[in-house]
Structure 1
Amino acid sequence: MTQQIRIGLFGTGRIGQVHAMSVAAIEDAELAWVCDPFVEGAERTAAEYGGKVSTDPAEVFASGEVDAVIIAAPTATHVDLIDAAIDAGVPVLCEKPIDLDLERVDRLRAKAAAATVPIVLGFNRRFDRHFAELHRRVSAGEIGTLEQVLITSRDPAEPPAGYLASSGGIFRDMTIHDLDMARFFVPDIVEVTARGANTFSATARELGDFDSAVVTLRGAGDELVVITNSRHAAYGYDQRFEVFGSEGLLQVGNQTDTLVRHWGAGAVEALEPYQNFFLQRYAEAYRLEVVEFLMAVRGEPSRSPGFEDGRAALVLADAADRSARTGGSVTVDLSR
């Protein structure tokens, strides 16, 4: 392997651009190949960040010019691209979810477990410095025995109808990030209870989806996790996290672009609006996610979530969807 880690990027949409920027910002990494069936997107990305252009993943793997790949292509391509990376002996970072169909994921499971290269899932919120510090302090015992976790995640505005139609639904698309974060703190979830609602989105209703959801998870040690989701929030991107234990409580609040506050006749301690998009809130986390992945590529200890973490999040998302549609709780066994 060369000293400079050569990255192949599959997919040049919004998330692909984020990963291209992250690679460009890392000193010991370079974008070697950019692959997208829409060649114009690949050409634009390569012109800005470097790398050769292809429309064929097989060409990238056969080139011998990539030390690792990042999969930011549409979800339906993830399983096949992970499979190809394993065959080529190339480490892979794949965006969530592995797939929308658990059966497809399970058909790859044994091969992924036997792989000799790292397979990393793109749950970037684990690397947000605020949430990482929260996790460190919980692990250090600062609040005693963990008893409750409260996660709030609301988007600033509903996605376009075309995105919603192919997203897999709110639980597999949006809540899945929060389900992974729940497992970051409470790894062994045994029960899922969810309720979905249609409070504002005619599009979600027409698609048989929900625009709002509340999920309660129960851990093997009777820990409780409550996740609150909405596809819109008038005040910006709402990302809050609270952990409660036998000896205290820790919180992470929302972020603004600056810490300036205003006092006047109409309000006191007024803050700027919250950051309004996930690319603002989690830009650093995306970069640190790639940094951690490259540690695994070099054979160094890494905190990156793996294939089994991606599978577990999908199992929980499927259980939440089933619970919301049947009105009952769903028992899960993530060890199986």
Structure 2
Amino acid sequence: MGEKITIGIIGAGRIGRLHAENIVHIPKVRIKAISDIFIENVKEWAHQIGIESVTADYHDILNDPEIDAVLVCSPTSTHVAIIREAAGAGKYIFCEKPISFSVEETKEVLEVVKEAGVKLQVGFNRRFDPNFKKVHDTVREDTIGEVHIVKITSRDPEPPSAEYIKNSGGLFFDMAIHDYDMARYVTGSEVEEVYVQAANLVDPVIGELGDIDTAFTVLKFENGALGVIDNSRKAVYGYDQRLEVFGAKGSVTAQNEHPTNVEISTADGVLKDTLKHFFLDRYKDAYMNETHAFIDSVLYDKPLVCRGNDGLQAELIAKAAKESFETKKPVKINRETSRSF
């Protein structure tokens, strides 16, 4: 491919707009078109940032021979159909997580992508967070030795709306799936067994909708390491995102981020800023880095950091977590299934 990539974006909600605004000023990128079913809500914004075309039909993007790659930022329920059609049209694909709520559908569409010979990157943006990447790199460099324990804390500052919960796929597929991917990423090992305890402790409406808002997941990895992940939909003190990997020779930890690192010390105590409150603030750099990585992968044939198989593996863990919660038993992940791609 040449020195410039022409992109179409499917879905102009919060995440689609974020990606567009992050990449629109990159000299080697041209955003030719964006699609959304609520087209009237998009036109003015798209015009302001220089996107040439706005359409209500994403097929207009897929059928455009000038467009090299698409960013799929539409609801999860639409991902499989769009990926299948995009691959058939020969487009490179970036898809927000998860690929789908069905492991079987994900496996089927990954076969389509494989046969089409196009690249597919999955939007697990936290892999591109400088702090978490440093943890990953430290483990890979053998600085802390053989990994024994991974601990991840992921707590939202407030629960989402009831409407969001209805379409989210549940905490395991919507929220904890980021942490399942991170656990694989930092250990470099597949998960072989999952055990979950979970409850509805934050908002009774979430329980009424058939979901949970508080969860504790124990992971057993193929390399023998153990992992523990705690999730909550409500941390009153802010967006709580922490990661620790403990090994035979030491540990490496990524702590929470604050708007500033200023501390004020007086006779009354030591004060510092509360945590960053919103995921778009906390992972601003990560979102930029992941789209830059996708663009470079397409332009210069660089390896993808987060492939379709990574999306599948995280879904397998999420599915096992849901089953474990429902059965109150540990659930083993079929190793043949986990190595399908």
Moved more, 183-192 or 238-247: 183-192
Aligned to 2:206: 204
Moved more, 159-168 or 1-10: 1-10
Aligned to 1:104: 105
Contact 2:121/2:304, CA 8 A, preserved across alignment? no
TM-score normalized by the length of structure 1: 0.97
Secondary structure of 1:263's partner?
Answer: strand
- C-alpha distance in 1, partners of 2:45/2:123? 20
Structure 1 outlier segments of 4+, above 3 Å: none
Moved more, 100-109 or 281-290: 100-109
Percent of pairs identical after alignment? 38
Once the two structures are TM-superposed, the CA of residue 109 in structure 1 deviates from its matched residue by 2.9
AA aligned to 2:316 is: V
Q: Map 1:1-336 onto structure 2 (within 5 A).
A: 1-49=1-49, 50-186=51-187, 187-268=189-270, 270-332=271-333, 333=335, 334-336=338-340
TM-score normalized by the length of structure 2: 0.95
Moved more, 247-256 or 34-43: 34-43
> Per the alignment, do residues 125 and 162 of structure 1 end up closer, same or farther by CA in structure 2, a change over 3 Å counting?
same
Once the two structures are TM-superposed, the CA of residue 328 in structure 1 deviates from its matched residue by 0.1
Contact 1:295/1:302, CA 8 A, preserved across alignment? no
Write out per-residue CA displacement over residues 55-101 of structure 1, whole angstroms, 9 at most, x where no aligned residue.
11211121212111101001111011111111111100000011112
AA aligned to 1:18 is: L
Moved more, 277-286 or 291-300: 291-300
> Per the alignment, do residues 244 and 25 of structure 1 end up closer, same or farther by CA in structure 2, a change over 3 Å counting?
farther
- C-alpha distance in 1, partners of 2:148/2:110? 32
Once the two structures are TM-superposed, the CA of residue 102 in structure 1 deviates from its matched residue by 1.9
Contact 2:242/2:254, CA 8 A, preserved across alignment? yes
Contact 1:196/1:210, CA 8 A, preserved across alignment? yes
AA aligned to 1:335 is: R
Contact 1:42/1:54, CA 8 A, preserved across alignment? no
Contact 2:135/2:186, CA 8 A, preserved across alignment? no
Once the two structures are TM-superposed, the CA of residue 9 in structure 1 deviates from its matched residue by 0.4
Secondary structure of 2:202's partner?
Answer: coil
> Per the alignment, do residues 247 and 121 of structure 1 end up closer, same or farther by CA in structure 2, a change over 3 Å counting?
same
Once the two structures are TM-superposed, the CA of residue 25 in structure 1 deviates from its matched residue by 4.1
Once the two structures are TM-superposed, the CA of residue 278 in structure 1 deviates from its matched residue by 0.3
- C-alpha distance in 1, partners of 2:186/2:115? 27
Moved more, 25-34 or 323-332: 25-34
The answer for unaligned runs of 5 or more in structure 2 is none
Write out per-residue CA displacement over residues 87-140 of structure 1, whole angstroms, 9 at most, x where no aligned residue.
111100000011112222222232222231111100000000111111111100
- C-alpha distance in 1, partners of 2:142/2:163? 45
- C-alpha distance in 2, partners of 1:181/1:48? 36
The answer for unaligned runs of 5 or more in structure 1 is none
Write out per-residue CA displacement over residues 270-300 of structure 1, whole angstroms, 9 at most, x where no aligned residue.
2101000000000110010001101211243
